[in-house]
Amino acid sequence: MTFKAEYIWIDGTEPTAKLRSKTRILADGAELPLWGFDGSSTNQAKGHSSDCVLKPVYSCPDPIRGGEGDVLVLCEVLNTDLTPHESNTRAELAEVAERFAAQEPVFGIEQEYTFFEGDRPLGFPVGGFPAPQGGYYCGVGVDEIHGRDVVEAHLENCLRAGLGISGINAEVMPGQWEFQVGPLPALTVADQLWIARWLLYRTAEDFGVAATLDPKPVKGDWNGAGAHTNFSTKAMREGPEGYAAIITACESLGEGSKPLDHVKNYGAGIDDRLTGLHETAPWNEYSYGVSDRGASVRIPWQVEKDGKGYIEDRRPNANVDPYVVTRLMVDTCCAALEK
């Protein structure tokens, strides 16, 4: 007998990479082998030397096919000499995560996204706009909610895949939603977020709608889509020095060139979203504060009260590469906390 393995990888599309996948039939009991693909069709190679290698790094049950043994297989892209391909941001995170493993960093990422039907966000009337923002966030009822059937199916698929999805909610703009993955270690949260994104596109396909991570899908007075990245280390989570560690982490993100180093790697189009309006801080001004949804980094009120917990970097765009944002945060905050 056989099973179906859906090999999933991140391509080389600029400025925002896309997910690709293809299916391999394997004999029951077979290990997941290295595989290959045509890199000239994914912006990962030139035509005259187009082979790229797929190396399985994370696999889970496939809730779409659902057959016994069917799996989703997230892969790193390698060159034919088995070194990491230049589009492979996971390999670099693996090194940094390893270096700071003793601090036990964990992340919870809030993935916002928007459904589209044709060229309109789901719930936007033909040739016009819906009522202004106000009633949609965590709303209920047909006047406010668009796409809940897709969202519920996606949630169920993530759970059946065994992902650490921790919640969902309707967002501020009609057709806009969020799911959260974590808290989990950096590599795991990022691997699972990529799988959850693939499942989002794949689930929405069956409903005839598209999901997009476009950080500013509608110009004007409509919220953008972000990927708030919640972060803690063991020292931040545990008292009595927890709050001092939290302040050290917040300060480290504001030092020298760090604000710009981070923001320019937090997803294409970040200056369109981080305008200072719509619950964002301006992209070129770093700030942190308790309960402050207009700051770059927020310390939740409960965390201040408990004197320990985590911080929320509110800057990453919905289209951020989770391997990159987690690497930057570990690199900056854990280096400062080590001192």
Q: Build a one-symbol-per-residue string for 237-276: x at contacts with ligand ADP by CB under 6 A, - elsewhere.
A: x---------------------------------------
Q: Could you tell me the smallest distance in angstroms from the CB atom of residue 323 to ligand ADP?
A: 17
> Between the CA of residue 288 and those of 15, 251, 315, what are the distances in Å?
28, 8, 11
The single residue among 11, 62, 76, 110 that binds ligand ADP, judged by CB under 6 A, is 110
CB of 125 to ligand ADP, least distance (A): 28
Shortest Å, Cβ 315 to ligand ADP: 13
# of chain residues touching ligand ADP (CB under 6 A): 17
Strands annotated E in the chain: 2-10, 19-27, 35-38, 51-61, 71-78, 106-117, 120-121, 165-170, 176-185, 210-212, 229-232, 288-290, 297-299, 311-313
Window of 105-113, 153-161, 258-266, 317-325 that interacts with ligand ADP by CB under 6 A = 105-113
Task: Pick one of 6, 62, 191, 312: the residue that binds ligand ADP (CB under 6 A).
Answer: 312
Smaller CB separation from ligand ADP, 100 or 231: 231
Q: Does 331 bind ligand ADP (CB under 6 A)?
A: no
- Reference 224, options 159, 138, 155, 317; nearest CA is 317
Residue 250 and residue 286 in contact, taking contact as beta carbons nearer than 8 Å? no
Pick out residues in 154-183 that bind Mn ion (CB under 5 A). Answer: 178
Is residue 26 within 8 A of residue 5, CB to CB? The reply is yes
Measured at the CA of 173, the angle between CA 292 and CA 265, to 5 degrees, comes to 60
Choice from 6, 76, 110, 331 touching Mn ion (CB under 5 A): 110
115 binds, among Mn ion, ligand ADP, none (CB under 5 to 8 A by kind): none
- 96: number of Cβ within 10 Å: 21
User: Nearer Cβ to ligand ADP, position 37 or 177?
Assistant: 177
Binding-residue pattern over the window 208 to 237 for Mn ion, x denoting contact by CB under 5 A: --------------------x---------
| DSSP H helices in the chain | 90-99, 148-160, 186-205, 234-237, 242-252, 258-263, 270-273, 301-306, 322-329, 335-338
Tokens 């290990």 — which residue?
Answer: 31
Give the range of 66-74, 109-117, 271-279, 326-334 binding Mn ion by CB under 5 A. Answer: 109-117
CA distances from 71 to 11, 68, 250 (A): 20, 9, 39
Which residues contact ligand ADP by CB under 6 A?
106-108, 110, 166-167, 180, 182-183, 228, 230-232, 237, 309-310, 312
